[in-house]
Amino acid sequence: MTGAGLRVYDTAEELAAAAAGLFADLAAAEVEAKGVFTAALSGGSTPGMTYDALAGPDRAGRVPWQGVHLFWGDERCVGPDDPESNFAMARERLISRVDIPGENIHRMRGEDHPAASARRYEEELTGFFTSLGPPGSAPGTGVPALDLVFLGLGADCHTLSLFPGTAALEETERLVVENYIPRLGSWRLTMTPRLVGAAGSAVFLVSGGGKAEALVRALGGGEGDCPARLIRSSRLDPDNDWPLWLVDRAAARLL
């Protein structure tokens, strides 16, 4: 395993606390340095505990929410009040509990036509980062540079909505795409590896024994189609821990 950092925590709660602490520390540093902190939230169930920890009394006060801008790494093609919505989960567990301005929330419009919504999101994201000036893009790539991208890992080695065998895995130019997932019989919106690769930090949050085999494949190479392995830094100045894997002991049981 090269170029990636791995930190193993005894419990899912400790993993969530560490992820929340990392978010809070990065946010404080980036808002102090450049007045803004941009983060893409992951979907699924794992990050919910991290959002709870982040909204909790001992952390929310440390985060300069006025300067924090939230994006989404992916979204299901449903409305913002649908129980399946990644935005709805983040609104319930985090956004509704902290003092972040509404204009700082950049949700993917899952309720719109997938192709149009993907293009609209890419335009909104690109426009936002262009407005930031030079710090807005990754050195050497010209691609919008999020400060932090949280990522999950599926048992089939998918991340974001980059599922094995789907069209989005082949995308090398666009930053946000619509992606049909045959196994689910549904459309998704997802950031592409090109966009994530420009981020300052990419942090996988992996919890539970059901992810153990996928984690081995994602970290060690191994056989087969593992979309999580497409997440690689394209920056000229990547951190040593890029990507950083925050996992619990159950997920790490086969390492």
SS3 158: coil
Q: How far is the CB of 127 from ligand 6PG (least distance, A)?
A: 24
Instruction: Please report how the helices 47-55 and 12-34 are oriented relative to each other, as an axis angle in degrees rounded to 10.
Output: 60
What DSSP element (H or E) covers 116? Answer: helix 114-131
**Spatial distance between the Cα atoms of 112 and 123, rounded to a whole number of angstroms:** 15
Nearer to ligand 6PG, 31 or 175 (CB): 175
Nearer to ligand 6PG, 52 or 74 (CB): 74
Q: How far is the CB of 42 from ligand 6PG (least distance, A)?
A: 5
* 157 torsion bin: left (phi>0), alpha (psi -120 to 50), beta (else): left
- Residue number closest to ligand 6PG, CB atom: 152
Q: How far is the CB of 236 from ligand 6PG (least distance, A)?
A: 28
Nearer to ligand 6PG, 78 or 198 (CB): 78
Nearer to ligand 6PG, 150 or 242 (CB): 150
Scan for tokens 């609209």, then name that residue.
120
Nearer to ligand 6PG, 16 or 160 (CB): 160
Nearer to ligand 6PG, 34 or 229 (CB): 229
Q: What's at 188, amino acid-wise? A: R
> C-alpha dihedral over 33, 38, 44, 48, to 10 degrees?
40
What is the binding site for ligand 6PG (CB under 6 A)? Answer: 42-46, 74, 86, 152-154, 158-161
SS3 149: strand
What are the strands, taking DSSP E only, across the chain?
Answer: 5-9, 37-41, 68-72, 74-76, 148-151, 176-181, 186-191, 201-206, 244-248
Q: How far is the CB of 211 from ligand 6PG (least distance, A)?
A: 7
Up-side HSE of residue 99: CA atoms within 13 Å toward CB? Answer: 8
Q: How far is the CB of 128 from ligand 6PG (least distance, A)?
A: 21
Q: How far is the CB of 233 from ligand 6PG (least distance, A)?
A: 19
